């Protein structure tokens, strides 16, 4: 038996503290969503499932989270009316919610952005990036190392992220007197609200840079060329995406780094086809070999394998070479099979002598293979 938590607090719903990091939120959300998923016969609960979705949708976004921390659920409900959320439709469905950012910015007249972009002093997570690489068809036979070029945002080493080389070039912002915030009074449906918003002059840093660092143009961050080695695991399939945790852009003000989403594209092969861990190839056989049986070496992804073709083998017949397929991902000792599809070739370039022999053969068969 499981009792449902009767709470409207988004942090409590997800079971995290008010200071939870992005990663903690994400893992708490996944856990809770799995637990309350209506398909879960033990602990499924549609109402809680929706609440979990609402809570995460707000808390995962630093801007929305700040609004929630400041105004609570009341502010959220007021902003969107009764239909503030358009429903939660499964995992990863980014389209499940209306864009709360728009709702809030129209409600508060854009006060949260202050016209100067998001507050620069707040810790924010670095950007994720997508990268894709090609590997050869045979590469997934074993683990391989692959070099990948990245271009992540890093702290500028020339100014140590300060934006200016000399401390004396950094002065207090005149607009906000160094607080990074300006105060305005807004009329909202709650009445008059004194609204602190980010200083538009300094973007919330409270500082002004007189002589910006030439290397980063005063930003304190810049993109750096970087090459990393990535282990591509044996058995990987085409179009698989790997997450390289913490390899994306550096976070701002101590926020966590973003991730790299690396998509693996596997090139085609002229002899082999692949489905999952199984390999398929075609073996062309002459009339005589197919009829009399034959022993032949066929190429596999590991080299060659001796194959005994039995007498009376037909076109379309499939021979299985067990465990000669690709390794299964993360189960290296288990491999797929190699399926050899036989194609019997009727010769089209018969010599005079061959033709004579076949005519002889035809006479002996007396049409017994013909059926109409
Ligand atoms: Zn710099
Ligand atoms: Zn300022």
Q: Tell me the C-alpha distance between 8 and 32, whole Å.
A: 15
pLDDT (0 to 100) of residue 371: 93
Beta bridge partners of 181: 198
Q: Tell me the C-alpha distance between 294 and 339, whole Å.
A: 17
Cα–ligand 2 centroid distance for 163 (angstroms)? 15
Cα–ligand 2 centroid distance for 207 (angstroms)? 6
Strands 260-266, 129-135: parallel, antiparallel or unpaired by DSSP?
parallel
Q: Tell me the C-alpha distance between 330 and 334, whole Å.
A: 9
Q: Does 28 map to a domain?
A: yes
Which residues line ion ligand 1, judged by CB < 5 Å? 156, 158-159, 213, 215-216
Cα–ligand 1 centroid distance for 155 (angstroms)? 8
Tell me how crowded residue 88 is: count the other CB atoms within 10 A of its CB: 19
Contacts of 145 (CB under 8 A, 6+ apart): 229, 230, 231, 232
Q: Does 353 map to a domain?
A: yes
Q: Does 201 map to a domain?
A: no
Ligand nearest to the CA of 174: 2
Domain closes at, from 59, 83, 107: 107
Q: What is the pLDDT along the chain (372 residues), one digit of tens a residue?
A: 333 445 678 888 888 888 888 888 888 888 888 888 877 777 777 778 888 888 888 888 888 888 888 777 666 654 433 333 333 333 333 333 333 333 333 333 333 333 333 455 678 999 999 999 999 999 999 999 999 999 999 999 999 998 999 989 999 999 999 998 888 877 777 677 777 888 888 888 888 998 999 999 988 999 999 999 999 999 999 999 999 999 999 998 889 999 999 999 999 999 999 999 999 999 999 999 999 999 999 999 999 999 999 999 999 999 999 999 999 998 878 999 999 999 999 999 999 999 999 999 999 999 999 999
Q: Does 257 map to a domain?
A: no
Contact (CB, 8 A) for 226 and 150: yes
Q: Tell me the C-alpha distance between 73 and 59, whole Å.
A: 12
Cα–ligand 1 centroid distance for 167 (angstroms)? 12
Ligand nearest to the CA of 159: 1
Q: Does 343 map to a domain?
A: yes
Domain closes at, from 63, 86, 107: 107
User: Which CATH number goes with the domain that contains 322?
Assistant: 2.60.260.20
Contact (CB, 8 A) for 329 and 233: yes
User: Which CATH number goes with the domain that contains 14?
Assistant: 1.10.287.110
Q: Does 186 map to a domain?
A: no
Task: Note the residue count of the chain.
Answer: 372
pLDDT (0 to 100) of residue 91: 33
Cα–ligand 2 centroid distance for 18 (angstroms)? 28
Q: Does 211 map to a domain?
A: no
DSSP letters spanning 237-294: -TTEEEEETT-SPPPBTTPPP--EEEEEEEPP-SS-EEETTEEEEEEEEEHHHHHH-E
Contact (CB, 8 A) for 193 and 71: no
> In 3-state terms, what secondary structure has residue 142?
coil
- The reported pTM is 0.59
Burial of 194 (0-12, 13-18, 19+ CB in 10 A): exposed
Cα–ligand 2 centroid distance for 41 (angstroms)? 54
Ligand nearest to the CA of 119: 2
Report which secondary-structure segment, H or E, holds 43: none
Q: Tell me the C-alpha distance between 320 and 309, whole Å.
A: 11
pLDDT (0 to 100) of residue 121: 67
Domain closes at, from 74, 107, 140: 107
Ligand nearest to the CA of 173: 2
Q: Tell me the C-alpha distance between 10 and 14, whole Å.
A: 6
pLDDT (0 to 100) of residue 277: 97
Parent domain of 15: 1-107
**Count of structural domains within the chain:** 2
pLDDT (0 to 100) of residue 192: 76
Cα–ligand 2 centroid distance for 33 (angstroms)? 41
DSSP annotation of 124: B
Q: Does 258 map to a domain?
A: no
């Amino acid at each position: 038996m499981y009792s449902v938590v009767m709470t409207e607090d988004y942090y409590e719903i997800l079971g995290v503290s008010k200071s939870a990091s992005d990663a903690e939120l994400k893992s708490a959300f996944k856990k809770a969503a799995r637990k309350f998923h209506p398909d879960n016969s033990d602990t499924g609960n549609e109402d809680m499932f929706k609440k979990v979705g609402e809570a995460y949708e707000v808390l995962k976004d630093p801007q929305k989270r700040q609004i929630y921390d400041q105004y609570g659920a009341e502010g959220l409900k007021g902003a969107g009316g009764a239909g503030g959320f358009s429903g939660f439709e499964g995992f990863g469905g980014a389209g499940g919610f209306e864009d709360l950012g728009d709702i809030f910015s129209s409600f508060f007249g854009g006060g949260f952005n202050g016209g100067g972009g998001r507050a620069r002093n707040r810790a924010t997570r670095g950007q994720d990036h997508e990268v894709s690489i090609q590997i050869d068809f045979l590469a997934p036979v074993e683990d391989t190392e692959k070099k990948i070029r990245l271009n992540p945002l890093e702290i500028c080493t020339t100014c140590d992220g300060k934006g200016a080389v000399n401390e004396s070039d950094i002065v207090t912002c005149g607009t906000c007197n160094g607080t990074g915030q300006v105060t305005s009074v807004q009329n909202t449906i709650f009445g008059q609200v004194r609204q602190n918003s980010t200083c538009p002059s300094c973007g919330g840093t409270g500082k002004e840079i007189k002589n910006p660092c030439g290397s980063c143009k005063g930003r304190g961050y810049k993109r750096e060329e970087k090459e990393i080695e990535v282990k591509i695991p044996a058995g990987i399939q085409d179009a698989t995406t790997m997450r390289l945790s913490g390899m994306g852009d550096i976070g701002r003000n101590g926020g966590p780094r973003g991730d790299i989403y690396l998509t693996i594209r596997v090139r085609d092969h002229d002899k082999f086809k692949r489905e999952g861990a199984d390999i398929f190839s075609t073996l062309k056989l002459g009339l005589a070999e197919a009829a009399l049986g034959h022993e032949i070496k066929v190429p596999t992804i590991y080299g060659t394998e001796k194959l005994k073709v039995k007498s009376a083998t037909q076109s379309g017949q499939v021979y299985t070479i067990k465990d000669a397929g690709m390794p299964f991902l993360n189960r290296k000792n288990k491999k797929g099979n190699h399926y050899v599809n036989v194609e019997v070739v009727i010769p089209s370039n018969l010599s005079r002598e061959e033709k004579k022999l076949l005519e002889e053969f035809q006479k002996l068969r007396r049409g017994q293979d013909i059926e109409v």
